[in-house]
Amino acid sequence: MLRMINRRKNRYGASSVFLGIVLSSVILIECTFLTFVWELDYSIKVNNAVDAQIESIMCEYNRQLFDVYGIYAFTMNVVDDDVYSKALLACGYTEGPELNLGGYKKIDRKALRDAINMYYSYRASGIAIVQIADVFSAVIEEFLNTGVLKSIKEYTSSPAAGYVTDIIQGSEKISEWLEKAGKALKIDDLESGLKLFDQLKNKLNLKDNDLEDLSFGIGIKDMKPAIKLIDGLSELHESLGKSDFKIVTHILEANYCSYNFDCYLKPDIDATINGTAFSSIHEKNKDDAEFILTGLTGNKSIAAVNFLLMQVLTGSNFLKDYLDKEFRAKVDVVSKILSAIIAAVSEGTVEIDYRIITVALIVLLATFKAGKDIIALRKGERVTLVKVKDKDLITAGYRDFLFLFMQAVPDETMEKRALTILTRDFGDLYTGITGTADTGLKKISVSRSYALYG
């Protein structure tokens, strides 16, 4: 009997031990699970707090930068962890793991390109001016096809250039030369021709010297600068030929840089595309568009743009006068007189075809008109490119010309220079950020960037 009781006790004792082991395991599992759930809940709340902080930073993008340039970006001065702390406090945590902000993604060329494309998705009408580029290209092409370059070079390489310069400048030798030429001037209407010459000479004397304000010497009375301008037309036309005006992205960037950055124009007649005054972006008037175009700053950039303007406007004005048969006939009369005077006073040692002198005189007039046009452009006025029956068919302003020249600037160059200006005005710009927090059991990491940039 005793033996049976002992067996029963042993069996019950073994069961109790087994049950205790099982219950201990269950309790351990439950505790572990509860700890896991708590850690998971804590990690989720920390993750949400980090996410809220990142979202708040991204929301603090520069409003003016977006309104004027269509760019989403924030700066370092808006970065803090205030939202992170409040988000944790709202969940009942007075403290949390340290928040580390980093992985700042600076705005780059690709981001700027994406912003420009989006910018013009609702401003498409702003690129209608692309037609002007085609007009200019045709003007330069026609100018080069007229053979003007050859004629001018022939003229400047001969002694005739010196005689014509003296005559135009009003040298005291003119009356002496006319007397010496005498009957050698076999012109049907000498008196009328001399009147035309006086009108031409008055235009080219420029007594008011108002063209000296163009930051570089034009040399109206000297043909050497004129030939440099004409030579430059070939280079400009070649540059324009390298730009495919049908490439939408390039056109958009050229338009964006030409019309939306500050330039030499006075603040009271100039503003951004959306009408924002540049004075609200930076204090002093800047030559930013000229910098994007030329890579130069200050007076150097202004002079470089003036030189480009002189090339194109000289060609445009030359064509308008040269293709006007009535006007050219009048200049021919003057050229015949000059040719005869030169031949007479040089005693036949210097002879030049009057048609070459005609081309030279029209180029000088075109250069003079171009200088006047530049002054008008810098005052915010527009100049006529194409006129039909005394009606201005196509006109252009200063920024329109910048847009034309910008066609020859590579996209990469425009983007780099534009970013230089934007950074100067708004500081270092960022389009993305990463926030991290280590809970001890898990490292939380949240990265965000604006959807605009992909």
pLDDT, tens only, 260-287: 999 989 888 888 888 899 999 998 889 9
Mean pLDDT of 180-203: 59
Closest listed residue to residue 394, CA positions, set 124, 141, 131: 131
Long-range pairs, 176-185, Cβ under 8 A, ≥24: 177/341, 177/344, 177/345, 178/341, 180/344, 180/345, 181/340, 181/341, 181/344, 181/345, 182/344, 184/340, 184/343, 184/344, 185/337, 185/340, 185/341, 185/344
Best-predicted range by mean pLDDT among 38-47, 134-143, 324-333? 324-333
CB 48, CB 439: distance < 8 Å: no
Asked if residue 208 has pLDDT above 50, the reply is no
Through-space distance between the first and last CA atoms of the chain, rounded to whole angstroms: 87
Asked if residue 216 has pLDDT above 50, the reply is no
Phi and psi angles of residue 445, each rounded to the nearest 5 degrees, phi first: -140, 125
3-class secondary-structure state, position 342: helix
Cα distances (angstroms) measured from residue 434 to each of 104, 428, 447: 7, 17, 4
pLDDT of residue 3: 52
- The two counts, helices (H) then strands (E), for the chain are 17, 5
Best-predicted range by mean pLDDT among 32-36, 74-78, 256-260? 256-260
Instruction: Read off the pLDDT of residues 93-119 as tens digits, 9 standing for 90 and up.
Output: 877 788 888 888 999 999 999 999 888
Asked if residue 257 has pLDDT above 50, the reply is yes
Asked if residue 185 has pLDDT above 50, the reply is yes
| Residues facing residue 446 across a β-bridge | 435
Best-predicted range by mean pLDDT among 20-24, 209-213, 401-405, 437-441? 401-405
The average confidence (pLDDT) of the chain is: 75
**Rounded to an integer, what distance in angstroms lies between the CA atom of residue 369 and that of residue 356?**
20
pLDDT of residue 323: 77
pLDDT of residue 370: 84
Asked if residue 172 has pLDDT above 60, the reply is no
Asked if residue 436 has pLDDT above 70, the reply is yes
Asked if residue 18 has pLDDT above 60, the reply is no
Instruction: Read off the pLDDT of residues 335-368 as tens digits, 9 standing for 90 and up.
Output: 887 787 777 777 667 777 788 778 777 877 787 7
Higher pLDDT, 203 or 323: 323
Tokens of 8: 């029963």
Which stretch of DSSP H or E encloses residue 437? strand 430-438
pTM of the model: 0.75
Mean pLDDT of 244-250: 64
Tokens of 180: 């010496």
Share of the chain above pLDDT 70, in %: 61
Q: How confident is the model at residue 147 (pLDDT cuts 50, 70, 90)?
A: low
CB 137, CB 130: distance < 8 Å: no
Q: How confident is the model at residue 426 (pLDDT cuts 50, 70, 90)?
A: very high
Q: How confident is the model at residue 35 (pLDDT cuts 50, 70, 90)?
A: low
Mean pLDDT of 212-235: 50
Asked if residue 217 has pLDDT above 70, the reply is no
Closest listed residue to residue 264, CA positions, set 316, 229, 303, 209: 303
Mean pLDDT of 174-182: 58
Asked if residue 382 has pLDDT above 50, the reply is yes
**Rounded to an integer, what distance in angstroms lies between the CA atom of residue 224 and that of residue 218?**
10
pLDDT of residue 212: 47
Asked if residue 289 has pLDDT above 60, the reply is yes
pLDDT of residue 432: 92
Mean pLDDT of 384-408: 78
Q: Read off the amino acid at residue 316.
A: S
Mean pLDDT of 178-185: 57
pLDDT of residue 149: 64
pLDDT of residue 224: 56
C-alpha angle 440/445/449, rounded to 5°? 165
